[in-house]
Amino acid sequence: MSKRLHYSIRMRAAKDSVHISGAEGIYEKNDVLDTVQKYTGRAYAHDKGRADEIHLTIEELKETPRRISSLPLCTLNTRNSEAAGKAAFKILSSIGITERAIDEAFKSLTIGITMRGAMLMDIEGVRLEPDLLRGVRVTRMGITKKADAILSKHLAKLGLNNDTVKEALILASKVHKYPMVLGELCISDDPNYTTGYIASRAFGYIRLLHIKKRGLPYGGRAFFITGGEVKELIKYLQTTPVLIDNIKPCEGALSLKEILARKSHRKSHSRK
Ligand code: WAQ
Ligand code: MG
């Protein structure tokens, strides 16, 4: 069987030397040119202004991308940041992450410094990433055209068919495929984007409305990890190509109770 080549295409754009836009995906050869055009258009049409510097990387992948399913998606029906924070604590502590670690993550994500990558935190809250200022960047993930069309359809029904949600779901789906990762807390760095998420294999991708106060220009990601080789984990996050080719259910708003009631089922399911 002849194996088709895949390409990782990555874009980052800046205006006046400040980062304004980024995108990435994994594509087949026939789609490389269209993608370059799409990404360039995106950099020129960004809310934050027209980019004056665009970096594009087109990398032929030496490894066949690993195919995975997306995490199931839902939204927690909390009304304010206090309730969202409390619910995040309940969910994350139910999968074995200590309150100290969750506290530490919230603190680090709201202190006002934005890292380029994610923090790696053990379940006690000890930071494990080698570069504490930069964090670890997850790259080389994408979605097949077919799966993307299905995901768009699911998300459109929820009024959520946009790049922000899609990209976050694709990133989290790659991250949580790795058994050492237990959970994740994410808060956007966009001052107007107040929705964040927590993700885990046990519960999937749970959107957290109002997790951040409007106007704050910082955010970040924390991956909670358990015992294992951190070097191998970082290698996976940064370099292993992963392609989503199957979409799990995407649901609307659920209560904390409804979400907590689902854990055991999903957990036993994902252990296979
Ligand atoms: N790898 C690791 N960390 C990253 C990456 C990456 N590829 N990209 C961003 N980060 C970190 C970095 O610290 C950013 O400041 C922070 O995450 C937030 O990134 O369902 O938009 O791109 O409605 O601002 C989540 C909710 C949106 C989506 C997340 O993140 C929804 C978002 P942003
Ligand atoms: Mg952002």
Q: Give tens-digit pLDDT for 173-188.
A: 999 999 999 999 999 9
Residues 174 and 195 grouped into a single domain: yes
- Whether 266 shows a pLDDT value over 60: the answer reads no
Residue 272: its pLDDT value, please? 36
Most informative mutation of 48, 74, 221 for ligand 1 (most atoms within 8 A of CB): 221
Q: What percent of the chain has pLDDT over 90?
A: 85
139 with 92, same domain?
A: yes
Read off the pLDDT band of 263 (50, 70, 90): confident
| Matching residue, tokens 């506290």 | 103
Q: Is residue 265 included in any domain, yes or no?
A: yes
Residue where a domain terminates, one of 62, 85, 100: 62
Between 266 and 262, residue with greater pLDDT? 262
Boundary of a domain, candidates 21, 36, 62: 62
Q: Does 51 fall in a domain?
A: yes
Q: Are 109 and 58 in a shared domain?
A: no
Q: How many beta carbons lie within 10 A of that of residue 249, not counting itself?
A: 10
- Residue 94's domain comprises 67-271
- Tens of pLDDT, residue by residue over 170-224, are 999 999 999 999 999 999 998 899 999 999 999 999 999 999 989 988 899 999 9
- For residues 16 and 114, membership in a common domain is answered with no
Closest ligand 1 atom number to CA of residue 171: 7
**Single-letter code of the amino acid located at 31:** D
Is residue 168 lining ligand 1, measured as CB closer than 6 Å?
yes
Least confident of 45-49, 104-108, 151-155, 228-232: 45-49
What does the pLDDT look like over 147-167, one tens digit per residue?
Answer: 999 999 999 999 999 999 999
Cβ(238)–Cβ(142) below 8 Å: no
Same domain, 167 and 263: yes
- What is the tally of structural domains in the chain? 2
Q: Is the CB of 186 under 6 A from ligand 1?
A: yes
For 182, the 3-state DSSP assignment is strand
Note whether 56 and 78 are same-domain residues.
Answer: no
Q: pLDDT higher for 125 or 267? A: 125
Q: What is the pLDDT of residue 269?
A: 45
Assess whether 129 and 198 both reside in one domain: yes
Q: Is residue 1 over pLDDT 60?
A: no
pLDDT reported for residue 265 = 53
pLDDT of residue 152: 98
Tell me which residue has its CA closest to atom 13 in ligand 1: 220
Residue 83 lies in a domain: yes
1 lies in some domain = no
Q: Are residues 120 and 186 in the same domain?
A: yes
Q: What percent of the chain is predicted at pLDDT more than 70?
A: 96
Looking at the predicted structure, is the pLDDT value of residue 133 above 90? Answer: yes
pTM, two decimals, is: 0.95
Same domain, 142 and 13: no
Please indicate, yes or no, if residue 54 is contained in any of the structural domains: yes
Ligand nearest to the CA of 117: 1
State whether 30 and 130 are in the same domain: no
190 lines ligand 1 (CB under 6 A): yes
- For the chain, the average pLDDT equals 93
Angle at 184 between CA 259 and CA 237, to 5 degrees: 135
Beta bridge partners of 181: 225
Same domain, 78 and 186: yes
Q: Are residues 117 and 196 in the same domain?
A: yes
pLDDT digits (tens, 9 = 90+) for 52-96: 999 999 999 999 999 999 999 999 999 999 999 999 999 999 999
Q: Is residue 196 part of a domain?
A: yes
- Ligand 1, atom 28, lies closest to the CA of 165
Whether the pLDDT of residue 271 is over 60: the answer is no
**Separation of first and last alpha carbons in the chain:** 28
